[in-house]
Amino acid sequence: MTMNNAQAAEAIRAHHGEMATTLRRGVAALGAAVQARQGHFDQQQAVLDYLDHELLPHAAAEERTVYAAADVGPAALLVRAMRDEHVNLIAHIDAFRKASDAIQAVALSSAILALFDSHLAKENDLLIPALQADPSVSLAELLDGMHELLG
Ligand SMILES: [Fe+2]
Ligand SMILES: [Fe+2]
């Protein structure tokens, strides 16, 4: 697959959109189960599986690639903030993993979703444009074979 930088940027944004949609559905299903006073452990586990198998590997892969590439020059401060947001997301995911009652699980899953949404907006609207504007960076090369970043 050969992409140019604009296609690579669009591919990242599309994958972010899919991730947000999947997470939003899982969090809604968890909330609905709790509201209906059904057992919620299956829904909690499903959200956790998604976080463990998609969101966390995505975050780790982008720290090694796009964040590393943007970590010099004018975007360095933004990258530092983005890495801190990953740390915050990981802490909330750990708390969600340990949440043993329904209210805690719903509250933490909603917090994770809100954090993730605002994090994605910064990646899409600030970080990706900064990389696209940097002539020393090839987004397409960075993404080559990175299924964690492209879906
Ligand atoms: Fe990120
Ligand atoms: Fe991302």
Please tell me the number of the ligand nearest to residue 82's CA. 1
Mean pLDDT value of segment 84-101: 97
Ordered by start, the domain boundaries in the chain are: 5-150
- Give the global pTM: 0.95
- In this prediction, residue 1 has a pLDDT band, given cuts at 50, 70 and 90, of low
Write the pLDDT tens digit of every residue in 9-59. Answer: 999 999 999 999 999 999 999 999 999 999 899 999 999 999 999 999 999
Å from CA of 39 to ligand 2 middle? 32
Which pLDDT score, from 0 to 100, does residue 144 have?
85
Q: Around ion ligand 2, which residues have CB less than 5 A away?
A: 123
Q: pLDDT tens digits for 102-151?
A: 999 999 999 999 999 999 999 999 999 999 999 999 999 998 888 888 88
CA 121 to chain centre: 10
Alpha carbon of 14 to ligand 1 centroid (Å):
14
Q: Which-ligand-closest: CA of 70?
A: 1
Distance (Å) from CA 62 to ligand 2 centroid: 6
**Concatenated DSSP letters for 19-82?**
HHHHHHHHHHHHHHHHHTT---HHHHHHHHHHIIIIIHHHHHHHIIIIIHHHSSGGGHHHHHHH
Whether 2 has a pLDDT exceeding 80, the answer reads no
The pLDDT of residue 3 is 83
* Residue 67: per-residue pLDDT: 96
